[in-house]
Amino acid sequence: MNNRNLLITAAVVLAALLLIYVVGRGPDEEPAVAVSTESEQLQPRELEATQFRPPPEPQAPASPPQITEEVPVEPPGPPEPEPAALPGLNDSDEFVREQLAELSVGAQVLPILVADEIIRKVAVLTENTSRGVLPLRDLPLRSLTQPMQVRRLENEIYLMDPASYHRFDPVVDALVAVDVDQALSAYQTLSPLLQQAYAEIGYPNRSFEEALVETIDRVLNAPMEQGPFRLVRPAVMYRFADERLEKLSDVEKLLLRMGPDNAERLKQKLREFRDRL
């Protein structure tokens, strides 16, 4: 196994931050009710001079004036901040870093980001992983260096050392620590750029969110197998000795390399994300 598989696992962290569908809520509106009153003056009827005028009847005392209680009006609160102006896709890398830096796990994600074309590379990664494929290049995260640990059994048969599972601990820890509300906000901001990049790679009539949902569902539905796993190395890269396992998709095989504990932690967090979609 090469470092690409480690990098892809870290990419799952970044993709998960962008997986959340945001439902906006408009401000509450209170209808203003205007009440108007008109006073009518009664004009007395003029009488003829020769007509007898009886003495005026006593008038009832005037009713006391009505006292209207004034309801204090709350002063308006501070205006909501204007949404951040989006840069062009070609100039979006620094903006993406600024948005991710606001996340609680930003300090863990930012060091492994590539220097350029982050949004476009996330779009490429998401489309590929939605079909179970791990791309060989144009990935949004830097390569990680820890190799898989194996023990030689006999001839060209190796055994994957369970200690290799711990290579994935940092990225899974980062994902599990993601605050969902912060992730929602980040996705809401970056969504137009992601959609634009997704259209560029040949999907102008498909929602980027559909690919994100397919990606997360593929991870959640991946079968889990208990190791230890035997490996062969016919060339540079290790392969599963069990052909049934080797025929699994790239994403499914990656989950096996992560180990059952990390894979379950990953799935549990992604279920939380999926429930919010």
Predicted confidence (pLDDT) per residue in 49-89, tens digit: 334 344 555 555 555 555 555 556 566 655 655 555 899 99
CA separation for the pair 84, 90 (Å, rounded): 17
Number of H helices, E strands in the chain: 10, 4
Give per-residue pLDDT as tens, 181-197: 888 788 888 999 999 99
Sheet holding 157-160, edge to edge: 150-154, 157-160, 230-232, 239-240
Q: Both tokens of residue 9?
A: 């696992």
- Answer whether residue 123 shows pLDDT above 90: yes
Q: How far apart are CA 104 and CA 179, in angstroms?
A: 7
Distance of alpha carbon 124 from alpha carbon 3, whole angstroms: 19
Quick check: 6 pLDDT over 90? Answer: no
34 burial (CB, 10 Å; 0-12 / 13-18 / 19+) is: exposed
How confident is the model over 211-256, as pLDDT tens digits? 999 999 999 999 988 888 999 998 888 999 999 999 999 999 999 9
Q: If you ran DSSP here, which 8-state letter would residue 145 be given?
A: -
The pLDDT, as a whole number, for residue 85 is 81
Q: Please choose, from the candidates 16, 23, 21, the residue with its C-alpha nearest in 3D space to the C-alpha of residue 179.
A: 16
> How far is 201 from 158, CA to CA, in rounded Å?
39
Half-sphere exposure (Cβ direction) of 155: Cα atoms closer than 13 Å: 3
Give residue 60's pLDDT: 54
**Which residues does residue 230 pair with via DSSP β-bridges, in sequence order?**
159
CA-CA distance, 81 to 92, in Å (whole number)?
Answer: 21
How many residues are there in the chain? 277
- Report yes or no: 15 and 208 within 8 Å, Cβ to Cβ: no
Under the banding of pLDDT at 50, 70 and 90, the label for residue 108 is confident
In this predicted model, what pLDDT tens digit does every residue of 155-184 receive, in sequence order? 889 999 999 999 888 888 888 888 878 887
- Which pLDDT tens digit goes with each residue over 16-48? 433 322 222 222 222 232 333 333 333 433 333
In sequence order, what are the residues at sequence separation of 6 or more whose Cβ sits closer than 8 angstroms to the Cβ of residue 189?
Answer: 83, 84, 86, 99
Decide: 156 and 232 in contact? Cβ < 8 Å. Answer: yes
Query: For residues 195 and 111, is the Cβ–Cβ distance under 8 A?
Result: no
Whether the per-residue pLDDT at 124 is higher than 50: the answer is: yes
